[in-house]
Amino acid sequence: MILAFFPVLTPFSLVSESALFAAVGSDKADARPMWEEGIAYLFSMLKNKDSSFDVQKVSGLLDFVVSEKGGVTNLDPGKRENATGAYFYSDVKAPLSKVIKYAYNPKIPAYLTLPSVIRLGGWQVKPDGPVANLWEKVSDVKVPLVMRGVEYEEITPDMTTGAYYRYDMDRLMVLLKYRGKVFFISATRQMNPSTVGRQGVIIGPDTDWNYFYSGQKGLNQAGLGWVSSYMYDASSVSILFEPGVSKTQTRFATFKWLRAGWGGINMVRRENIIEGGKRFASGFKKVLESPQLPGAERLIDVYAGIKTLSDQDLSARLQPIGKALQKLSRTDPGLSRSDFRELIESGKYLRGMSREEQENLLMSEYMKFAIGKPSFLDRSPL
């Protein structure tokens, strides 16, 4: 996923996650850091589509993330093609195979494991390579397994501006073994500038994962509704591995670069990307670490079942959500605007959603219900 957060007048104030650490200093002692060759190689692999993979090209990068320096020392990766860079890592209490099974399973929508940062997502071009049941290969990977595809994502509203964006991105995934340790690498690069930013609302605390999407262009911030903002460019490299011998924990070490703003000006600060990483980690950990998390097969079945519902049946199952939103529109400050409230109260909000957006809303509420979070549903939709 690509995290898209940029400041307007003030820094972002996002969900904190104590398990996520980020650099606040600068790593400029070396003219060419040990991780740089690997980053450059992975981004080049996104472009040249070579089926072979040279592990030696990423050896410095892998050595870095498993070292003490990759976990506790300051690092400022600097700018890349005028995009602001940041590095951070987070640990989740789940083995690597489980993380891949849920978060990198082409049959499970990304928004189910990333509810705080992704609204919609899917494959424009399905990944090639050995992506099927990839999690089963973690314990027996012998040669690098390389997979590529093209995804689309629409993010949740930004915590300062309320804006949300949609974009396409190339994704490269590699499962490999290096020095006896298994690594999963995911590299992404936004293909073109995003759609123009549209006005959304975070309903209540961000940790509730309740969002409103108006469809109206602009920023949902006083005096800035006129702004045409964009994510111009974004790229990332995430390296996943089990840091301990117990194999009960997975670490995400992520390098990320982002250029976003308006009028062609990059408004992103490094701290914004780091805070976006905290937001990502908070939701991801809540899902993957939940003792009530349904099996992957159950999620796949429910998702498939929702997609086969008739429009009438889908609409009927959305009614409890519509009523809950109508109630919230009378009390939530973020929905106090008359045009937002009218959309919800009249029922136009749900009726005006695309089929995909309706399916997403129902499936997202099911996930909250399943893991024991407050939900607009009181039962499974199927």
What is the DSSP-derived secondary structure letter of residue 77? -
Residue 145: Cβ within 10 Å count:
17
What confidence score (pLDDT) does residue 20 get? 47
- Which two three-digit tokens encode residue 264? 């062609």
Question: Which stretches of the chain are DSSP H helices?
Answer: 36-48, 59-66, 68-72, 96-103, 110-113, 270-288, 296-308, 311-329, 338-345, 348-351, 355-370
Entry pTM: 0.91
Interacting residues of 359 by C-beta distance below 8 A, sequence separation 6+:
306, 307, 314
Please give the pLDDT value at position 285.
98
CB 222 within 8 A of CB 166: no
Q: Topology of 20-289 in CATH?
A: Alpha-D-Glucose-1,6-Bisphosphate; Chain A, domain 4 (3.30.530)
pLDDT reported for residue 21: 44
Question: Quick one: pLDDT at residue 180?
Answer: 95
Are 318 and 362 within 8 A, CB to CB?
yes
> Strand, coil or helix: what is 139?
helix
What DSSP character marks residue 116?
Answer: T
Asked if residue 148 lies in contact with residue 174, where contact means CB atoms within 8 angstroms, the answer is no
- Please name which of 170, 183, 191 lies closest in space to residue 46, comparing C-alpha atoms: 170
Taking alpha carbons only, the member of 260, 200, 258, 257 closest to residue 230 is 260
* Four-CA torsion 312, 317, 318, 320, nearest 10 degrees: 140
Predicted pLDDT of residue 47: 85
The whole-number pLDDT of residue 73 equals 56
- CATH 3.30.530.20 in the chain, residues? 20-289
The one-digit pLDDT tens for each residue of the chain (382 residues) are: 555 444 433 332 233 344 444 443 444 445 789 999 999 999 999 988 777 899 999 999 999 999 987 875 578 999 999 999 999 999 999 999 999 999 999 999 999 999 999 999 999 999 888 888 999 999 999 999 999 999 999 999 999 899 999 999 999 999 999 999 999 999 999 999 999 999 999 999 999 999 999 999 999 988 889 999 999 999 999 999 999 888 899 999 999 999 999 999 999 999 999 999 999 999 999 999 999 999 999 999 999 999 999 999 999 999 999 999 999 999 999 999 999 999 999 999 999 999 999 999 999 999 999 999 999 999 999 8
Helix, strand, coil percent content, the chain, rounded in steps of 5: 35, 25, 40
